[in-house]
Amino acid sequence: MRTDEPQAIHLKDYHAPDYKVFEIALDFVLDPAATRVGARLRMARTGAEDAPLVLNGEALKLVSVALDGKLLAKDEYSVDAEHLTIPNLPEKFVLDIVTEIAPEQNTLLSGLYTSKGMFCTQCEAEGFRRITYFLDRPDVLAVYTTRIEADRKLYPVLLSNGNLITKGDLPGGRHFAVWRDPFPKPCYLFALVAGDLGRIEDEFVTMSGRKVDLKIFVEHGNENKALYAMDSLKRAMKWDEEAYGREYDLDIFMIVAVSAFNFGAMENKGLNIFNDKVLLASPETATDDDYGRIEGVVAHEYFHNWSGDRITCRDWFQLSLKEGFTVFRDQGFSADMRSHAVKRIEEVRALRLRQFQEDAGPLAHPVQPQSYISIDNFYTATIYEKGAELIGMLKTLVGDETYRKATDLYFARHDGQAATVEDWVRCFEEASGRDLSQFRLWYAQAGTPVVGAKGLYDKSTKTYTLSLAQTLRPTPGQPEKKPMHIPVRLGFIGKSGASLPLTLEGENATGPEERVLELTEASQNFVFVGVEEEPILSLGRGFSAPAVFAVDHSPADRTTLMAHDPDSFNRWEAGQTAARAAMMAMMQGASPDPLYVAALGPVLDKAMEDMAFAANMLSLPLESEIAMAMPVVDPDAIHAARMGLVKTVAAAHRAKFAELYAALGEDGPFSPEAKAAGKRALRNACLRYLTAEDDEAAATLAHRHYLSATNMTDMIAGLAALTRMSSAKKDEAFTHFHDRFAKDALVLDKWMGLQAGSPRADTVVRVRALMEHAAFDIKNPNRVRALVGAFSANQLRFHAADGSGYALVGDVVRKLDGINAQVAARMAGAFETWRRFDPARQALIRAELEKTLAISGISSNLFEVMSKTLA
């Protein structure tokens, strides 16, 4: 184990920088093996006179430093592995620093690196220090001018942030370009791209009538696959004007797709860089989920121009300021483009799967963390998705109009600044006149509150007393919690399914059919009057807070809600709760709940009315979702119960599934739009049930579905059904798919992922074999996530009792740490739920964790995840 344990950085230690950078002029002479970077920094001292200038730097070769034009001697500065320190500086000065870097050696994909022969950068959070020495912190904002020089043939396209100032040819087959970004920005938003790229172009006229050139750069041959991203971009630009009054500010907006990228995409000012997985789409290669994700991520990165770039974060503890808000903005956009009901279900599903899991485990942290070892580890579901939920709650509490006032105020007041979460909340307080002190606890306390509800109906007085109580379990470092400010949206349903009015005691008019209660105490009573019959409680409508809403419904109440709740989210929720309860009971030996199975009948009868919603009603909770409800997770029992319920539902409604399946066949040309996608989703949900058995009839249907598919969504649905089967048709289809898409890495990722997700016993062996496949490359994060990430999400096989799954992921994590520590740490997150398993599995996982912590030279990223997981 390493002796020099990485040190944590604490929010309480924040202090403003001692120096300011007004301008930085960068000069890149590109070469994959040795790139020369000149940086001219115009600076001023803002702190104490004797404060030395401490610049960050990592993996840099320092060539020279000059102060106000005069080269510094070796004894006038000091350099260590992470800093360049210069003492005795005047009040204002110009520094010239020359460094050399090796982009082709940069497997961490942070800083300047090469991907398929092109140069690209990733600087958030702390990658700029791998390009040159700098004050690599988000509260240092400067104006950037970037000169790029490179071979003209190999790198005809030279891009950076802002506007193109000049370009030209140079002797020796070289050329150059100079870009200038007039908006002061932190260095994490710096970007550079150089390569031989194809492009598509379009334009957008902003609300004030300015024309903006839009360009998307991709590998030659992929131009058509960028059209959907371009269309999404234009819709996002328009939406941000309408929904938030935000207009784009530069004359040009560019996006570049790259193959090797650590996550989805990056909002560099005027030059977004995208993982090609969330940019490229065609009907033959992308699923409906891919289209939805591309639309959402394009919008997300574009929206960052205001929530992130023009207003950035003071320090990384404020990360959710830009990420939570921007997620909330992209969710609003996608909901408007598609279906609010379905989008909300998808959001909550993802939140529970990832964020609730995080909140319940050893890596739990508040939306505003107090400390970190590696900030890369804090780009989490808590910062992003829970952060977005907090904004949704603020909107619920202050109302739509005041919400817009608050965001207008925030954009006006903090434009050009590096702001804090506190600045944000204050805008809401001022716009609404409300005291949000207690609401701030949502940013400070980790963990998922449980809101318990008990209702007492008094027939004689027609009153209904609702007792709400909140509890929040301790999380690491937070043994005691205070009650939170929780908006609880609710309604009452009568036995016939009709909504009842909610009139609170003391009100003299009949109340509305839905209201939002504010739970602020550990427990509170709300008395409703004039309640004509005992109501069924519909609590937490629209998922009004990132909490567990625990209501003790009878199975009959649940089916009433499934059929009649006017809140579509709670209709879905009632079905999920019923299905989960049914499977839990099956694990105790019960047979499948006939009420639940029967309740799907009306869902099928009405399925054509809203196909995407019906598809969601028909999809059972995932195995890992069921696991969250169990004190000790039993992956085999969960799998068996889920399969059992699928088969029962399939048998009970076979005729209806077959009828719908036949009626929903593809007609007309492909459209990625919500309606067409909903139709495919419903048809594929039917296929899931029609192929419930592992027999030749099911295999034949799945195979036919696959072969007759005219788009990737349907192909994948056919293949997914086959992965569960023993029929020879499975291998036949997988081979066919492989050969058809042998040249398309993104599609082969799907092929790998499906095999890694198979419940069959040989999955672990197959995954090990696939790691040797020519298409697999441990240096490309997409390949690693597609195969190993998908495998660790396969609860049944990752948690195989013999430990073979743990060993596989452990081996990959240890190997990857020396290549790409960020991705290694991310993959290691697979172990975060380990204490919820039985002692034998825990022992096997512990061994993997200890073995990993013992590797020599472990990265601080992996050290942080492993040591916290083990703690």
What are the catalytic residues? 301
The smaller minimum CB distance to Zn ion, of residues 269 and 688, is found at 269
DSSP bridge pairs for 64: 98
Taking the mean position of all CA atoms in its chain, how far away is CA 42? 37
- Residue closer to ligand B3K (CB basis): 305 or 648: 305
E strands within 572-646?
Answer: none
Write the single-letter amino acid at 78: S
Cβ closest to Zn ion, residue 326 vs residue 377? 326
Q: How far apart are CA 753 and CA 741, in angstroms?
A: 14
110 or 691: whose CB is closer to ligand B3K? Answer: 110
The span from the CA of 681 to the CA of 673, in Å, is 12
If contact means CB under 5 to 8 A according to the sort of partner, which of Zn ion, ligand B3K, none does residue 124 touch? ligand B3K
How far apart are CB 232 and ligand B3K at their closest, in Å?
15
**Least CB distance from residue 523 to Zn ion, whole Å?**
37
* CB of 267 or CB of 625, closer to Zn ion: 267
- With CB under 5 to 8 Å by kind, the binding choice for 133 among ligand B3K, Zn ion, none is none
Binding partner at 190 among ligand B3K, Zn ion, none, C-beta below 5 to 8 Å by kind: none
419 near 311, Cβ under 8 Å?
yes
Look at residue 703 and give its three-state secondary structure.
helix
**Measured from the CB of residue 312, what is the shortest distance to ligand B3K in angstroms?**
11
Q: Please choose which of Zn ion, ligand B3K, none residue 379 contacts, taking the beta carbon within 5 to 8 angstroms, the exact cut-off set by kind.
A: ligand B3K
Contact assessment for residue 125 and residue 31, using Cβ atoms and an 8 Å cutoff: no
Instruction: Compute the least distance from the CB of residue 596 to Zn ion, in Å.
Output: 39
Taking the least distance from each CB to ligand B3K, the nearer of 323 and 610 is: 323
* 817 neighbors 824 (Cβ within 8 angstroms): yes
Nearest by Cα to 484 from 410, 390, 392: 390
Which of ligand B3K, Zn ion, none is residue 225 near (CB under 5 to 8 Å by kind)?
Answer: none
- 125 contact, one of Zn ion, ligand B3K, none, CB 5-8 Å limit per kind: ligand B3K
The smaller minimum CB distance to ligand B3K, of residues 244 and 263, is found at: 263
The entry of Zn ion, ligand B3K, none that residue 427 binds, CB within 5 to 8 Å by partner kind: none
Least distance from Zn ion to the Cβ atom of residue 304, Å: 6
What Rg value do the Cα atoms of the chain yield, rounded? 28
Dist CA 562 CA 557 (whole Å): 9
Please choose, from the candidates 87, 188, 107, the residue with its C-alpha nearest in 3D space to the C-alpha of residue 142: 188
| CB-CB contact of 861 with 825 (8 Å) | yes
CB of 192 to ligand B3K, least distance (A): 16
Task: Work out how close the CB of 275 gets to ligand B3K at its nearest, in angstroms, rounded to a whole number.
Answer: 10
All residues at 6 or more sequence positions from 815 whose CB lies less than 8 Å from its CB, including other chains: 778
* Residue carrying the six token digits 């485990």: 361
CA atoms within a 13 Å half-sphere pointing along the CA-CB vector of 170: 15
Which residue from 125, 134, 110 is spatially nearest to 322, judged by alpha carbons? Answer: 125
96's contact among Zn ion, ligand B3K, none, with CB below 5 to 8 A by partner kind, is none
Query: What residue ranges in 666-765 does DSSP mark as E strands?
Result: none
| Footprint of Zn ion on 321-340 (CB under 5 A) | 323, 326
Q: Which is nearer to ligand B3K, 300 or 797 (CB)?
A: 300
Q: Is the dihedral of CA 213, 217, 220, 226 positive or negative?
A: negative
- Provide the binding-site residues for ligand B3K, judged by CB under 6 A: 124-125, 263, 265-267, 300-301, 304, 323, 376, 379
CB 239, CB 278: distance < 8 Å: no
Residue whose CB is less far from ligand B3K, 267 or 290: 267
d(CA 228, CA 255): 13
- Residue with the closest Cβ to ligand B3K? 124
With both helix axes pointing from N to C terminus, report the angle between 594-605 and 611-618 in degrees, rounded to the nearest 10.
170
Residue 215 has, within 13 A of its CA and on its CB side, a CA count of: 16
Query: Phi, psi (5° rounding) for residue 733?
Result: -65, -40
Rank residues 367 and 650 by Cβ distance to ligand B3K and give the closer one: 367
Sign of CA dihedral 724, 727, 729, 734: positive
Give me the DSSP letters along 357-388: HHHTSTT---SS-SEES-GGGG-SHIIIIIHH
- Per-residue contact track with Zn ion, 295 to 324, x per CB under 5 A? ----------------------------x-
Output the smallest distance, CB 59 to ligand B3K, in A.
Answer: 17
Tokens 């994948």, residue located = 716
Nearer to ligand B3K, 304 or 680 (CB): 304
Q: How far is the CB of 88 from ligand B3K (least distance, A)?
A: 35
DSSP track, 456-519: EEETTTTEEEEEEEEE---BTTB---PPP-EEEEEEEE-TTS-EE--EETT--S---S-EEEEE
DSSP string, 82-109: SEEEE-S--SEEEEEEEEEE-GGG-TT-
Q: How many residues lie near Zn ion (CB under 5 A)? A: 2
Give the burial class of 49: count Cβ atoms within 10 A of its Cβ; 0-12 exposed, 13-18 middle, 19 or more buried.
exposed
Contact 206, 241 (CB under 8 A): yes
DSSP for 525-592, written as a single string: EEEEE---SPPEEEESTT--SSSEEEE---HHHHHHHHHH-SSHHHHHHHHHHHHHHHHHHHHTTPPP
Q: Rule CB under 5 A: which residues touch Zn ion?
A: 323, 326
